[in-house]
């Protein structure tokens, strides 16, 4: 058996609490209540164990991690463990004093989300008034502190047509990196797929625009295009492979090979309250379930791309077929690919109803499979 390499990254989801209500959120529908969150000591222990395990970088995320008053202590624990910390934030609540405390604790970079280049449209998509103004202020505070700033924009039907303006906004705000992330359909985004799926022509125009920007910005600002795999006919190498490069710890301590795996019944994920990260990463059945290529069936098993895309995304295979071990329907060779083609052509007909905003209130009683 090939030895298990240490993970490179830890996604630490400190809380599912969030001041925004984006319908494209990839958090699970069953959000962890604030009362169920790990306490400060437990998060500090997770960071210490992550450092010992070999984790190099942690993305401190949520929900909105700024809702945790103990954020500086958790950042400091990661820094002491030798882990590079990046704050993934909506920017709501990030002022100079708060950022100063985080920088003192060891914070190294910030990834800020924005929903649209137009303030009103951004507020509407985020479900919060004046959130765009808060984000603009947060970007300025990060630049003043001299921290690297990444801008993350989730792309969908409502903002793909203004991609040029979005890149322009990122440049105005002084972003070093602009991530243009086509919506990945998990959690709330899966629930709202009909409302979010763009048309093929929107994507074609956006892709051309990104290529032009990449040429123009080469060597200055990094531009990342996260592929819309529903449309491409190829499976993405999701998470760099299951249990291969990163792990997620959810707000209640559930440890997952990827954030969306919370929705997979039968996975029986371990919890950091009961097990060490070392055991979780190397020994737990959940992390070994789809590791490597031994679990694959045909056509993946005999495919020359199996070590490149790892058979695609397990969560997507489960969400679309009910079986996480099937080839990802995003792949044109997968037996279930026609299913995806059907979903994409249906999206051309438009959405029958408004999107469901992400919130604790609207979560009750909804399943993750659509
Ligand atoms: Fe990837 Fe499987 Fe498709 Fe081959 S058949 S390209 S391994 S998803
Ligand atoms: Fe879970 Fe792709 S999102 S494996």
HSE, side-chain direction, 13 A CA sphere, residue 226? 15
* Ligand 2 mean position, distance from CA 164 (Å): 29
Taking each helix axis from N to C end, the angle separating 337-347 and 314-321, rounded to the nearest 10 degrees, works out to 80
Q: Report the nearest atom of ligand 2 relative to the CA of 261.
A: 1
Give the ligand whose atoms come closest to the C-alpha of residue 309: 1
3 state SS of 338: helix
- The closest alpha carbon to 27, from 14, 38, 43, 36, belongs to 14
Distance of alpha carbon 279 from alpha carbon 270, whole angstroms: 9
335 lines ligand 1 (CB under 6 A): no
370 lines ligand 1 (CB under 6 A): no
Q: Is 2 exposed, middle or buried (0-12, 13-18, 19+ CB in 10 A)?
A: exposed
Q: Tell me the pLDDT of the chain (370 aa) as tens digits.
A: 578 999 999 999 999 999 999 999 999 999 999 999 999 999 999 999 999 999 999 999 999 999 999 999 999 999 999 999 999 999 999 999 999 999 999 999 999 999 999 999 999 999 999 999 999 999 999 999 999 999 999 999 999 999 999 999 999 999 999 999 999 999 999 999 999 999 999 999 999 999 999 999 999 999 999 989 999 899 999 999 999 999 999 999 999 999 999 989 889 999 999 999 999 999 999 999 999 999 999 999 999 999 999 999 999 999 999 999 999 999 999 999 999 999 998 877 777 788 999 998 776 555 444 3
Give the ligand whose atoms come closest to the C-alpha of residue 319: 2
DSSP conformational letter for 65: G
Q: Is the ipTM of this complex over 0.85?
A: yes
Pairing of strands 246-249, 222-226: unpaired
Q: Which residues line ligand 2 (CB under 6 A)?
A: 186, 238-239, 242, 258, 260-261, 313-316
Residues 11/57, Cβ–Cβ less than 8 Å:
no
* Ligand 2 mean position, distance from CA 157 (Å): 22
Give the ligand whose atoms come closest to the C-alpha of residue 11: 2
* 18 in a known ligand binding site: yes
Residues 151/112, Cβ–Cβ less than 8 Å:
yes
pTM of the entire predicted model = 0.94
327 lines ligand 1 (CB under 6 A): yes
pLDDT of residue 370: 38
300 lines ligand 1 (CB under 6 A): yes
* 258 in a known ligand binding site: no
Residues 327/299, Cβ–Cβ less than 8 Å:
yes
- The closest alpha carbon to 170, from 152, 146, 157, belongs to 152
Q: Where are the alpha helices (DSSP H) in the chain?
A: 40-53, 71-80, 96-105, 119-126, 131-144, 163-172, 187-191, 193-196, 200-217, 229-232, 277-282, 285-288, 306-309, 314-321, 337-347, 360-363
- Choose which residue among 312, 326, 329, 336 to substitute to test ligand 1 binding: the one with the highest number of ligand atoms within 8 A of its C-beta: 312
* Ligand 2 mean position, distance from CA 211 (Å): 27
Distance of alpha carbon 345 from alpha carbon 367, whole angstroms: 24
- The closest alpha carbon to 160, from 225, 220, 214, belongs to 225
DSSP conformational letter for 144: H
Q: Is 169 exposed, middle or buried (0-12, 13-18, 19+ CB in 10 A)?
A: buried
């Amino acid at each position: 058996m090939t030895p298990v390499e240490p993970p490179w990254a830890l996604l630490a989801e400190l809380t599912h609490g969030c001041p925004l209500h984006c319908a494209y959120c990839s958090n699970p529908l069953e959000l962890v209540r604030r009362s169920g969150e790990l306490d400060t000591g437990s998060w500090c222990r997770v960071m210490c164990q992550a450092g010992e395990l070999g984790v190099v970088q942690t993305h401190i995320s949520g929900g909105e991690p700024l809702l945790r008053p103990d954020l500086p202590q958790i950042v400091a624990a990661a820094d002491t463990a030798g882990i590079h910390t990046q704050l993934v934030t909506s920017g709501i609540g990030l002022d100079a004093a708060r950022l100063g405390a985080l920088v003192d604790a060891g914070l190294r970079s910030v990834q800020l989300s924005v929903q649209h280049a137009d303030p009103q449209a951004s507020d509407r998509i985020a479900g919060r008034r004046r959130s765009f103004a808060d984000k603009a202020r947060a970007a300025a505070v990060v630049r003043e502190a001299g921290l690297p700033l990444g801008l993350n924009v989730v792309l969908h039907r409502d903002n793909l047509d203004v991609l040029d303006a979005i890149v322009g906004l990122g440049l105005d705000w002084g972003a070093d990196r602009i991530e243009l992330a086509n919506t990945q359909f998990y959690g709330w985004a899966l629930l709202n797929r009909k409302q979010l799926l763009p048309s093929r022509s929107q994507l074609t125009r956006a892709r051309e625009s990104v290529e032009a920007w990449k040429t123009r910005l080469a060597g200055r600002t990094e531009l990342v295009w996260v592929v819309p795999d529903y449309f491409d006919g190829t499976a993405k190498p999701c998470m760099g492979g299951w249990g291969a490069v990163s792990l997620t710890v959810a707000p209640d301590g559930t440890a997952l090979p990827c954030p969306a795996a919370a929705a997979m019944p039968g996975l029986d994920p371990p919890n950091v309250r009961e097990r060490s990260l070392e055991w979780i990463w190397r020994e737990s059945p959940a992390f070994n379930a789809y590791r490597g290529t031994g679990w694959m069936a045909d056509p993946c098993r005999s495919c020359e791309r199996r070590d490149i895309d790892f058979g695609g995304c397990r969560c997507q295979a489960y969400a679309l077929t009910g079986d996480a071990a099937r080839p990802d329907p995003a792949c044109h060779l997968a037996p279930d690919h026609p299913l995806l083609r059907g979903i994409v052509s249906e999206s051309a007909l438009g959405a029958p109803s408004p999107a469901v905003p992400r919130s604790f209130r609207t979560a009750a009683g909804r399943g993750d499979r659509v």
